[in-house]
Amino acid sequence: MANSFSIAFGRTGLFWLYLKAMDDYYGGCVDKVKLPTSLIDDPMRLMPLTEMTRYFGVIDEIANDELFVAKGCSKIKFENFPPLNNIVCSSPVFFTAMLRLTALTKSVQSGCTVRGVIDAGFLKWSYNTEISVPSERLNDGIVAAWIFILLLRKYKGEQYQPEKVCLPGSRLGKPGEMEEIFGCKAVQWNAKQTEIHCLPEVMGTFTEQPQSIYGAKKLKYVEVLDYINLPDENDLSRCVYELIDYSRAFGYPRLEFIADILMVAPLTLQRRLQKDNLSFSELVKYKLLLDLAPQMLSEGQSIADVAAELGFSNTQSFIKAFKKAHDFTPRQYVESLEEYTQ
């Protein structure tokens, strides 16, 4: 990473997809991790990858198995991450689904490079990441491999076997054990990146579950922004802005909480923001009161619910802060919206 403040993000829904799979395989993972409900209900909210790694450690303790990621991810269900299910799996043809997965992956995790090519007679889907810790990079690659394999099986049937899975790390388990877990013909270790090799005929395959093409949610134009808002890892103010959104799930955003995620002293973070002519309190105001609160109120959420969602200790504190930011109360704002729409 370029400096001590740079930070990568992934979507909360991506972690929930993984966590639910681990819970289905090992049991007790959801209860142990205790992910806030507000994060589960907001799958496109950004989550620091360092937080995901910390939770991985909790699950590792539960499983006590070096193959826990490979085994647990066999239980991944796309419906646990609605954008993945609604966008990717709504295509009746695998080729289109693969293109959508490739595009979506770049919007759900920082620093990913994803592509599909025909090479040496095989369709090769590759996934690479900037994660520098070897064990974390390998586990991340295993998750990506499983997602693509399960997508293949959604179209080709549960018994489909990829020709080869390439993984960017040293062998885990006994010889042949990972091949058995993946249900593939071969696993190559110490590869430069994660790759899945298949015969190119799979590209024209139609889904064997045609019901999956129905019920896909159509996005509102404004919701498209949720898919393109991954911040640059070295844009500190933008990263802190997104960390404020993440941290509200644990209470009112605090400088100390976010500094801890960034692994710097609170005073150091505050001074660095000042170099950008910003303060932490200003960023909290921008995110909670100028961005999120009006949006939530316009969607019909109650004032009390909005106050709780934004981490305020009580409704009156929220009303006071909202009025200070906008010169009118949340109730007056809602009433003005009602007058406008009549």
Structure confidence at residue 85 (pLDDT): 87
Q: For residue 123, give the nearest of 160, 90, 157 by alpha carbon.
A: 160
Tens of pLDDT, residues 52-96:
999 999 999 999 999 999 999 999 999 999 888 888 888 888 999
To the nearest whole number, what is the mean pLDDT of the chain? 90
> Considering the entire predicted model, what is its pTM?
0.90
Question: How much is the average pLDDT of 106-116?
Answer: 91
Tens of pLDDT, residues 196-225:
999 988 887 766 554 444 445 555 655 666
Strands (E), 37-188: 46-48, 112-119, 122-129, 164-166, 187-188
Percent of the chain topping pLDDT 90: 77
Low-confidence winner among 111-120, 205-214, 264-273, 274-283 (lowest mean pLDDT) = 205-214
Structure confidence at residue 268 (pLDDT): 95
Tens of pLDDT, residues 291-301:
999 999 999 99
Structure confidence at residue 214 (pLDDT): 44
Structure confidence at residue 297 (pLDDT): 95
Distance of CA 17 to the CA centre of its chain: 9
Question: Hey, how many other C-beta atoms are within 10 angstroms of the C-beta on 171?
Answer: 12
**Which comes out higher in pLDDT, residue 319 or 200?**
319
Structure confidence at residue 272 (pLDDT): 94
| DSSP reduced 3-state for 339 | helix
DSSP H or E run through 9: strand 9-11
Structure tokens at 236: 């500190």
pLDDT of 15 > 90? The answer is yes
Structure confidence at residue 37 (pLDDT): 94
Structure confidence at residue 211 (pLDDT): 40
Structure confidence at residue 2 (pLDDT): 41
Residue 250: how many CA atoms within 13 Å on its side-chain side? 14
Percent of the chain topping pLDDT 70: 92
Structure confidence at residue 45 (pLDDT): 94
Q: For residue 154, give the nearest of 196, 82, 209, 84 by alpha carbon.
A: 209
**Which comes out higher in pLDDT, residue 213 or 303?**
303
70 and 182 Cβ atoms separated by less than 8 Å: yes
**Structural domains of the chain, with CATH:** 9-222 (3.90.1520), 235-337 (1.10.10.60)
DSSP string, 149-160: HHHHHHHH-TT-
Question: How much is the average pLDDT of 169-187?
Answer: 96
Tens of pLDDT, residues 132-168:
899 999 999 999 999 999 999 998 889 999 999 999 9
With left for phi above 0 and alpha for psi between -120 and 50, is residue 190 left, alpha or beta?
left
Question: What is the distance between the alpha carbons of residues 179 and 185, in angstroms, rounded to a whole number?
Answer: 6
Structure confidence at residue 267 (pLDDT): 96
Structure confidence at residue 227 (pLDDT): 72
pLDDT band at 1 (very low <50, low <70, confident <90, very high): very low
pLDDT band at 39 (very low <50, low <70, confident <90, very high): very high
